[in-house]
Amino acid sequence: MLIAAEPPPTPPHTGGLLTVIDGTAGLLTVAVLGIALLLFLIIKVRLQPFVALLAVSIASGLAAGLSVTELFGTVQKSDAISQIEAGMGGILGHVAIIIGLGTMLGAILEVSGGAEALSSRLLNLFGEKRAPLAMGLTGLIFGIPVFFDVGIFVLAPIVYAAAKRSGKSILLYAMPLLAGLSMTHAFLPPHPGPVAAAGLLHVDLGWIILMGVVVGIPSVIAAWAYAAWIGKRVFVPVPQDMLEAAEEAKAAVAADRKDGPHGPTDETPVSLGTVLTIIGTPLVLILAATFSSIAFDPSTTRSVIEFLGHPFVALTIALLMAYYLLGIRRGWSRKSLETVSTASLKPVGNILLVVGAGGIYGKVLQVSGIADALSDAFNDAGLPVILLAWLISVVLRVAQGSATVAIVTTAGIVAPLLQNGDYSQAHLALVIMAISAGSIFASHVNDGGFWIVAKYFGISERDTLKSWTVLESVLSVAGFAVAALVSLVV
Q: Looking at the domain assignment, is residue 488 inside a domain?
A: no
pLDDT band for position 233 (cuts 50, 70, 90): very high
CA 190, CA 343: separation in Å to the nearest integer?
Answer: 18
CA 146, CA 348: separation in Å to the nearest integer?
Answer: 12
Which one has a higher pLDDT value, 431 or 256? 431
Identify the helix (H) or strand (E) that includes residue 161. Answer: helix 148-166
**pLDDT(71) > 90:** no
The secondary structure of the chain in percent helix, strand, coil, rounded to multiples of 5, reads 75, 0, 25
Q: Which positions ≥6 away from 176 have C-beta within 8 Å?
A: 132, 133, 135, 136, 139, 223, 224, 227, 228
Q: What is the pLDDT of residues 1-55, one digit of tens each?
A: 433 444 444 444 444 444 444 577 888 888 889 888 988 888 788 888 889 889 9
Q: How far is CA 204 from CA 193, 289, 328, 362, in A?
A: 14, 10, 33, 19
> What's the rounded mean pLDDT across residues 51-77?
83
Residue 432, amino acid:
I
pLDDT band for position 77 (cuts 50, 70, 90): low
10 Å Cβ neighbour count for 303? 12
> What's the rounded mean pLDDT across residues 416-442?
91
Q: Looking at the domain assignment, is residue 122 inside a domain?
A: yes
Q: Looking at the domain assignment, is residue 387 inside a domain?
A: no
| Domains of the chain: total | 1
DSSP assignment letter at 460:
-
Q: Which positions ≥6 away from 148 have C-beta within 8 Å?
A: 181, 182, 185, 449
* Phi, psi angles (nearest 5°) of residue 47: -75, 145
Q: Looking at the domain assignment, is residue 459 inside a domain?
A: no
Q: Looking at the domain assignment, is residue 293 inside a domain?
A: yes
Q: What's the pLDDT score for residue 17?
A: 43
**pLDDT(258) > 70:** no
Residue 165, amino acid:
R
Q: What's the pLDDT score for residue 468?
A: 97
Domain that holds residue 291: 91-196+204-226+236-344
Q: What is the pLDDT of residues 271-305, one digit of tens each?
A: 888 988 999 999 899 989 888 877 788 888 899 99
CA atoms within 13 A on the CB side of 97: 13
pLDDT band for position 439 (cuts 50, 70, 90): very high
Q: What is the pLDDT of residues 111-127, one digit of tens each?
A: 888 877 888 888 888 88
Q: What's the pLDDT score for residue 375?
A: 67
Q: What's the pLDDT score for residue 250?
A: 53
What is the SS3 assignment for 376? helix
Q: Looking at the domain assignment, is residue 398 inside a domain?
A: no
Whole-number percent of the chain with pLDDT over 90: 34
Q: Which of 443, 485, 481 is nearest to 464 (CA)?
A: 443
Q: What's the pLDDT score for residue 261?
A: 44
Q: What's the pLDDT score for residue 211?
A: 97
**pLDDT(267) > 70:** no
pLDDT band for position 246 (cuts 50, 70, 90): low
Contact 203, 425 (CB under 8 A): yes
Q: What's the pLDDT score for residue 76?
A: 57
Contact 312, 97 (CB under 8 A): yes
Q: Which of 188, 123, 200, 473 is nearest to 355 (CA)?
A: 200
CA 340, CA 228: separation in Å to the nearest integer?
Answer: 36
Q: Which positions ≥6 away from 475 have C-beta within 8 Å?
A: 179, 182, 183, 186, 219, 220, 222, 223, 437, 440
pLDDT band for position 93 (cuts 50, 70, 90): confident
**pLDDT(108) > 50:** yes
Q: What's the pLDDT score for residue 268?
A: 67
Q: Looking at the domain assignment, is residue 242 inside a domain?
A: yes
CA 389, CA 386: separation in Å to the nearest integer?
Answer: 5
Can you give 92-138 as a three-state secondary structure string?
A: HHHHHHHHHHHHHHHHHHHHCCHHHHHHHHHHHHHCCCCHHHHHHHH
Q: What's the pLDDT score for residue 6?
A: 45
CA 19, CA 13: separation in Å to the nearest integer?
Answer: 10
- In this structure, is the dihedral angle defined by the CA atoms of residues 431, 432, 435 and 437, taken in order, positive or negative? negative
Q: What is the pLDDT of residues 342-358, one digit of tens each?
A: 888 887 888 888 888 88
Q: What's the pLDDT score for residue 22?
A: 54
Q: Looking at the domain assignment, is residue 393 inside a domain?
A: no
Q: What's the pLDDT score for residue 251?
A: 56
Mean pLDDT value across the chain: 84
* 148-166 vs 240-259: helix crossing angle, rounded to 10: 110
**pLDDT(79) > 80:** no
**∠ CA 35-39-43, rounded to 5°:** 175
Name the pTM for this structure.
0.79
Identify the helix (H) or strand (E) that includes residue 294. Answer: helix 272-295
pLDDT band for position 421 (cuts 50, 70, 90): confident
pLDDT band for position 362 (cuts 50, 70, 90): confident
First to last CA, the chain: 20
Which of 81-95, 147-161, 413-427 has the least mean pLDDT? 81-95
**pLDDT(141) > 90:** yes
Q: Which positions ≥6 away from 96 have C-beta within 8 Å?
A: 352
Residue 40, amino acid:
F
CA 59, CA 53: separation in Å to the nearest integer?
Answer: 10
Q: Which of 126, 216, 135 is nearest to 178 (CA)?
A: 135
